[in-house]
Amino acid sequence: MTRPVKIAPSLLAADFARLGEEVAAIDAAGADWLHLDIMDGHFVPNISYGPAVVKALRGRTRMPFDVHLMISPVDAFLPAFAEAGADRISLHAEAGPHLHRSLQSIRALGKSPGVVLNPATPAAVVAPVLDMVELILVMTVNPGFGGQSFLHSQLPKIAELRRMIEASGRDIALEVDGGVTAATAPLCIGAGADVLVAGTAVFGTPDYAAAIAGLRGGAG
């Protein structure tokens, strides 16, 4: 059965001088979610933006806010992003010793919890928390900055996670982030992904609607 594919443009690739307009533009162009990459300069080598930017953009769109926290330690920041308007909050399995507790905290804040896996992290890491997550995000680049090349080595991991999700019988989104383009999107979808994060593949093009449709077309 073909799953509907959601496209989540990454704000990190937008024009930061016109963020409100950029969000409105991808909304009008047919994006499903807005992906917000939060980087702390510690867990990853860059600093992006914080809850104030998320809050400022919340009133600009009804798209779900898919907040990806590249922060360590992460727990202290969860309430701020929940209050700022996040709908989904995903954190890295590698970011702290208490993944189970952190996911419980997201759920207690009334938000949808997700877990993120770096390229060197095996799929098996999510098995003990599969009953707690509504999203699994596979990084197909090493996180920290945009514009990197897609790591084809992650495709078997995506396929393995799809099998785990289906065996669980749970409704868990399987998201891919990193180097997603019109060329790599069909590979991700074929492996089992149903949410694609795209930065420069959307914001780096003159026609956002055409870019989003092209990425989604990989599901055909």
HSE-CB at 120 with a 13 A cutoff on CA atoms is 3
Q: How far apart are CA 4 and CA 7, in angstroms?
A: 10
Annotated catalytic residue 37:
yes
220 labelled as ligand-binding? no
10 labelled as ligand-binding? yes
169 labelled as ligand-binding? no
145 labelled as ligand-binding? yes
Out of 40, 66, 177, 194, the active site residue is 177
Write out the two tokens for 177. Answer: 């982030």
114 labelled as ligand-binding? no
Question: Strands, DSSP E only, in 104-218?
Answer: 112-117, 135-139, 173-177, 195-198
Q: How far apart are CA 30 and CA 84, in angstroms?
A: 23
153 labelled as ligand-binding? no
144 labelled as ligand-binding? yes
Annotated catalytic residue 32:
no
Write out the two tokens for 140. Answer: 């197909």
Out of 37, 40, 66, 194, the active site residue is 37
Q: Binding site for a divalent metal cation: residue ranges?
A: 35, 37, 68, 177
Query: Which residues belong to the annotated binding site for substrate?
Result: 10, 68, 144-147, 177-179, 199-200
The catalytic residues are 37, 177
Detail the residues annotated as belonging to a binding site.
10, 35, 37, 68, 144-147, 177-179, 199-200
